[in-house]
Structure 1
Amino acid sequence: MNTAESKSLRKSRLYLLLIALVFAAPMIVAGLLTYGGWQPSAKGNGQPIVPQRNFVDEQLRVQLADGQAYAWRDSEPRMTLLALAGPDCAARCLDTLTAMAKARVMLSRNQSRLRLLYLGTPPANAADRTAMASYWQLGRDVDGKLARYRPATPDSVSAVLVESNGTALSFYPAGFDAAGLLRDLRKVIK
């Protein structure tokens, strides 16, 4: 082998090594970060419900305004966004409920995959009640099994996101960020 061929061979091997290094570098960096204790998180805006609850298994009964029982498991896989109103649902409460309904609309073509269920005393104003009924199913927690998620603060709303099989996924306490809720909904409803 002459020197020109030897130089060419070394140069080719160097290029091959550099190409391998380009592909291996992200894996090496990820390994070092994991070894160092850093892990990326896909943290949602809601609080995880621990221990996990399944409303079907618990036989959690919700009676709708028309007297029918709410079916946690629907004929098609759809999640439920459950709104729990504190005492005296008024202006702030209605603003939050409107933001939640807007989050559903923002799901665009997937909005049919989310049901909105309001548990509590509907607003006293007839116009507000009528406007609400166009987006929300109104009902009540028959046995009071959701009392720990209901806010005690007047004119406030908390929310629980429930999987289509009845499993409660996350809790959004009163004062939650509606934009954060929308981000979470976009992650789970596809």
Structure 2
Amino acid sequence: MKAADPAAVRKSRLFLLLIVLAFVAPMIAAGLLSWSGWQPGTKGNGEPILPQRNFVAEQLRVQLANGQPYAWRDSQPRLTLVALAGPGCAARCLATLTNMAAARVTLNRNQSRLRLLYLGAPPVDDARDGMRNYWQLGTDVDGKLAGFRPDAPDSVSALLVESNGTALSLYRVGFDPNGLRKDLQKVIK
């Protein structure tokens, strides 16, 4: 039997080490990035509500247009997208509300897992535009959501609320409806 060439053995071990390193290096890099707080693709388009608020615990009362109280906790787990209109909701506001309702429609078979709640004076021509077909209309009885309501006329902001009443995200005036749609598709599966 012929003795192995020490240079060939070193070369083989180096190749083996490079192969192992090619598989281990990405895992080490991912661990370091995660440890440092960086997470790919986890940033939503809405702003997180900090400190967190739970509308059930706060006893935030919403009265629907039919006189009934709005139940933040539903009989089944469903999120609520709350639209808060600024003064004089008209064409721009209604266009944003239409885009928000369309974002719900794009959830396809999961659209029943999202409720749409509009708080404020109904937009001009809301009956003609079919808004009541998609939105429950109501009023923030105690004004506890005033800090989220826009001041600009003909504008709308939105809140995404978990099925237990915890407010998750705020979408300020001028938010991107496509970003909202992407966030909804992430959380409603």
CA distance in 2, matches of 1:5, 1:186: 60
More helix by share: 1
Equivalent residue number for residue 114 of structure 1: 114
Q: CA deviation at 1:107?
A: 1.2
Which letter maps to 1:162?
V
Alpha-carbon distance in structure 2 between the residues aligned to 1:124 and 1:78: 29
Q: Which runs of 5+ in 1 are unaligned?
A: none
Aligned-pair RMSD on alpha carbons? 2.2
C-alpha distance 77-32 of structure 1, shift in aligned 2 (>3 A): closer
Please report how far the alpha carbon of residue 21 of structure 1 lies from its aligned counterpart in structure 2 after TM superposition: 1.3
Aligned length: 187
For 1:60 and 1:38, locate their aligned partners in 2 and report how far apart those are by CA, in whole Å: 34
Structure 2 gap ranges (5+) = none
Aligned residue in 2 for 1:143: 142
Distance 1:185 1:28, change over 3 A: same
Deviation at 1:33, TM superposition (A): 5.0
**Structure 1 CA distance, aligned partners of 2:171 and 2:24?**
41
Work out whether 1:188 is the aligned partner of 2:187.
yes
Local SS of the residue matching 1:140: strand
1:144 and 1:10 map into 2 onto residues whose CA distance is 75
CA distance in 2, matches of 1:76, 1:155: 34
Q: Secondary structure at the match of 2:71?
A: coil
Match of 2:69 in 1: 69
Residues 148, 32 of structure 1: CA spacing in aligned structure 2 closer, same or farther, 3 A cutoff?
closer
Q: Which amino acid in structure 2 is aligned with residue 79 of structure 1?
A: L
Partner of residue 179, structure 1: 178
Q: TM-score, normalised by structure 2?
A: 0.89
Task: Give the Cα separation in 2 of the matches to 1:78 and 1:25.
Answer: 41
Q: TM-score, normalised by structure 1?
A: 0.88
Identity over aligned pairs, percent: 71
